[in-house]
Amino acid sequence: MTAPLPQRLHHTAYVTKDQEATRHFYEDILGFPLLATWSETDELFGAERVYCHTFFGLADGSALAFFQFANEEDQKLFDPELTPSPFRHIALKVDADGQAELERRLNDANWDPEGTFVLEHGYCRSLYTNDPNGMILEFTCDVDGYEKINEERAQDAHETLKRWLAGDHTSNNNYR
C-alpha cells in the first residue's frame, strides 16, 4: 500500500534566542502575519519545560514556527550553536511580484546587506537572506517554462542520480 503524500507543509520549527527580533523580522519586515503565540509548560524529554511557541503564516496555510525557552539551560540544550551552511536553509516558493516585494522590504530595512543576494539557477531565481537566528531563507521563483523543465528532470532523475553516484559529475543544468 502506498502512503499518501502530505497535502502541504503544516509548519517547520526552529529555536530562537529572541522571539521579538524574530517577530520583527518575519512580521514587520517580510509581512508574514503572526498567527499564534503559545505560552506553554510541558513535560518534554524528561523534564518540565517552559517555552513560547510562535507561528508565522504562509499563503498556503502553512507556517514557520519558533521556540524560545524560559530556562537558560533548556535554551542551551535545545539551541546548539550550528556552523552556518548555505545548504541548511528553508526555501519558500513565491511568484515574481512576491519576490520583488520581499527584496524591496529587505532593502528598505537595510537587512543583512552582505548576506542578502540573488542567484539565477536557470530553472528558478532565488533571493537569499538570513533571519535573526542565522537561518538561511530562500525565496524561490520558478522561471517561465518550469513545467517542461520539471518534466525533463523527472524523466531522468534516477538515471542522473545513478550516473552521479558512479562518478560522472557532468552538469545537466543547461538552463543558465
pLDDT at position 87 is 60
Quote the pTM value.
0.78
| Residues 62, 123: Cα–Cα separation, whole Å | 24
Statement: residue 144 has pLDDT above 90: yes
Query: Which domains are present in the chain?
Result: 9-81 (3.10.180.10)
Mean pLDDT (whole number) for 141-149: 91
Residue 121 · residue 176 · CB < 8 Å: yes
pLDDT of 44-97, one tens digit each?
889 999 999 999 999 999 999 998 999 999 988 887 565 555 667 888 999 999
Q: Residue 98 — pLDDT band, cuts 50, 70, 90?
A: very high
- Asked if 19 contacts 66 with a C-beta cutoff of 8 angstroms, the reply is yes
The Cα–Cα gap between 50 and 39 comes to 8
